[in-house]
Amino acid sequence: NAVIGRYKLNLQSTSSGSSSPANLGTFVLLFNPWSSGDDVFLPNEAECEEYVLEEFGIIFAGNKHHINSFGWNFGQFQGDILNICLSMLDRSLNYRQDPATDVSHRNDPKYVGRVLSAMVNSNDDQGVLLGNWSGNYEGGKNPSSWTGSGEILQNWKKSGFKPVRYGQCWVFAAVLTTVLRCLGIPTRTITNFSSAHDADGNLRVDEFYDASGNHLNRGADSVWNFHVWNESWFSRSDLGPSYSGWQVLDATPQEESGGIYQCGPASRNAIKEGDVDLDYDCPFVFAEVNADCMYWNYDPTNGKKTLMFSESTVIGQFISTKAVGRDDRVDVTNDYKYAEGSTKERDVFKKARKKLGLEDKFDPTAPTPEEIDQKPDMSGKFKVAGHLEVGKDLNLILVLANLTSDAKNVQVNMTAWSTVYTRRPVREIWKDSMSVTLAPQEEKQFPIQISYTEYQEHLTTDNMIQVTALCHVAGGIQVLVQRDVTLDNPGIDIQVLGEAEVNKEVDVEVIFTNPIDMEVMDCALQVEGSDLLRGILQIDVPTLKAGEKSSTKFKIFPSESGPKHLLVNFSCDKFADIKAYKIINV
């Protein structure tokens, strides 16, 4: 339970009554997950290997209908990273305000984790990364173009500790993983799909749509297609043994906690049991995986809002992390909550509401029981037809069903917007409307095509489009049908041309074929890999004609044996940040 950090080591030697101290140098003390007396003790050897020693990770993204993943180079044992991690502690607000007290708490992983969750974002303390969710990343690097934490941490130090531009949630989480693993705290990244950002703490997220079906950017609540945070493993002597184990930390600046942008550690067991009154930030994390969702029709002319429907099972799905020792996805949703729709899950939700004092408080913004119980006359859904690929037309089918025994006339207003992964609308790319008559109990399908030329100019680097149909049923309540679509990038192929051996150069070839019938320009390749390359390779690739194949060759120089990961990121004017990785056995 000693304080971590850099120590001076002196030797005192005494001879014939006089003693002379000799300075032997310095050493750095870390947390030790292999030691049973340590707060971060992790009894499983394979988990120690993965969550402390492994320098490569896989981060999950996309949306709940379509989960994709990409590699990340944590690189916690490379070059200058340990020094940078220690300087993060020394640049924190806590240290600046009271250095002696701050250092005296550095034996406590709860404290260190919370301080670093604030330092990875730059909101209060000139920390490592500046967040940007606008879709416009001028003056910095597009968040989806990073392939590892090393470049970010090195850039922060090189610039004289000015925030690096730009980060989004997985970048904040990946950098925090690097820093905590470097200091000896077992840590992993977690992706939550359909993640609620409950800004007002009422365990409810409100979304607003206008009569045309446009998703309005009003109200502070939002539901992100996915959100990435961290779990770190340590005991909770402040709460008791049943709350020890995995703790949620979140470095993405979403809401203030204790006056600054930091989040956690929130005990994962406390989240599952609805014990939202426990330290730290449990209500916010509980809402991320459990909030109820309300969808409102909003009339900007008079400010009137009408509830269309509410959902209690959409938030917090397919909660994912990388498997131990394998590159597979492991689903940990059941560690965060009881099965959706079970009475146990609803009981925990009620318990959490009660602990937050939401049971007795009149909420003027809440829907009435009558509004919640109203039954629509029809239902609808979007089905995907064919592959969703950047460069191809987007084909969907709108399925509408009349749930009553009377014929219904329906006016359908449809829109499609390009969005960032937080579902923030960026540009309208398509709209249409139609009048439909549905016979009693009839189901009809309507094909919808959005051409590549319509969306190509306005697609964000997240490759995400939100399609909405607002159905006005004559004499009935409005029905909202929506679907978030993630388009896949084309693939790239990595080939190692020869045997990889320590201290021997070996050639690598990266092949990309332009799949669209127009030329792609401004092509660039970025390559990194711990123990394979020093720093990052940036290679310009010539313009490619329609259907043309490019081959780029470069050399790597492995410095250590064992399985190593090479990460590649290819960008051009039509495709942003195509990522791939290859395991190279050195």
Q: Residue type at 350?
A: K
509 annotated to a ligand binding site? no
Which residue is catalytic, options 250, 281, 531, 577?
250
Which residue is catalytic, options 197, 215, 227, 565?
227
Structure tokens at 496: 């190692």
250 is catalytic: yes
Return the DSSP state at 162.
P
- Full DSSP string of 213-274: --EE--SS-EEEEEEEEEEEEE--TTT-GGG-EEEEE--S-SS-BTTBS----EEHHHHHHT
CA angle 32, 35, 41 (to 5 degrees): 75
Q: How many CB atoms lie within 10 A of CB 245?
A: 16
At residue 350, φ and ψ (nearest 5 deg) are -65, -40
227 is catalytic: yes
340 annotated to a ligand binding site? yes
Continuous segment of H or E residues that includes residue 164: strand 164-167
Cis bond upstream, residue 166 (ω within 30): yes
290 annotated to a ligand binding site? yes
471 is catalytic: no
The dihedral over CA atoms of 81, 528, 497, 574, expressed in degrees to the nearest 10, equals: 170
Which residue is catalytic, options 48, 85, 169, 293?
169
Report the alpha-carbon distance of residue 364 to residue 206 in Å, rounded: 13
Q: Which of 140, 362, 367, 112 is nearest to 249 (CA)?
A: 112
Report the alpha-carbon distance of residue 372 to residue 311 in Å, rounded: 10
CB 294 within 8 A of CB 200: no
For residue 173, the Cα-to-chain-centroid distance in whole angstroms is 7
Please give the annotated binding residues for Ca(2+), written as ranges.
Answer: 290, 292, 340, 345
Known binding residues are: 290, 292, 340, 345
Residues carrying an active site annotation: 169, 227, 250
